[in-house]
Amino acid sequence: MGGVKGKRIGVLMGGPSRERDISMKSGRAVCRALESNGLKPVPLELIKASTLNGYRNQASDMIRLSNIDVAFIALHGEFGEDGRVQEILEDLGIPYTGSRVDASTLGMDKIGSKAIFKSRGIPTPRYKIITDKCRPLDAREYFESLGSPLVIKPSGEGSSIGLSMIELEKEFTEALNKALEHGGRAVIEEYIAGREIAVGILEDRALPVVEIIPGKRFFDFEAKYQKGMTEYRVPADMEREVYDVSQKIALESHNALGARFFSRVDMILTRDNIPMVLEVNTIPGLTETSLLPKAAHAAGIDFNQLAAKILESALW
| Cα–Cα distance measured from residue 168 to residue 166, given in angstroms and rounded to the nearest whole number | 6
Q: Is 281 a catalytic residue?
A: yes
Q: Is 191 a catalytic residue?
A: no
DSSP letters for 251-293: HHHHHHTT--SEEEEEEEEETTS-EEEEEEESS---STTSHHH
Q: Is 96 a catalytic residue?
A: no
| Rounded alpha-carbon distances, angstroms, from residue 89 to 40, 49, 85, 279 | 20, 19, 6, 25
Catalytic pick among 55, 96, 264, 313? 264
Catalytic pick among 99, 113, 246, 281? 281
Amino acid at 105: T
| Cα–Cα distance measured from residue 162 to residue 160, given in angstroms and rounded to the nearest whole number | 6
Q: Is 264 a catalytic residue?
A: yes
| Rounded alpha-carbon distances, angstroms, from residue 189 to 41, 110, 130, 146 | 41, 11, 11, 7
Hey, is 193 helix, strand or coil? coil
Amino acid at 137: L
Catalytic pick among 127, 225, 246, 313? 225
Give the closest residue to 200 by CA, choosing from 190, 188, 212: 212
Q: Is 158 a catalytic residue?
A: no
DSSP letters for 8-51: -EEEEEE-SSTTHHHHHHHHHHHHHHHHHTT--EEEEEE---SS
Give the closest residue to 247 by CA, choosing from 287, 290, 285, 200: 200
Q: Is 80 a catalytic residue?
A: no
Q: Is 127 a catalytic residue?
A: no
Catalytic pick among 78, 82, 109, 279? 279
Catalytic pick among 104, 159, 246, 290? 159
Catalytic pick among 19, 82, 189, 196? 19
Q: Is 225 a catalytic residue?
A: yes
Peptide bond into 235 cis (omega under 30): yes
Instruction: Classify strands 41-46 and 9-14 as parallel, antiparallel or unpaired.
Output: parallel
Residues noted as catalytic: 19, 159, 225, 264, 266, 279, 281, 285
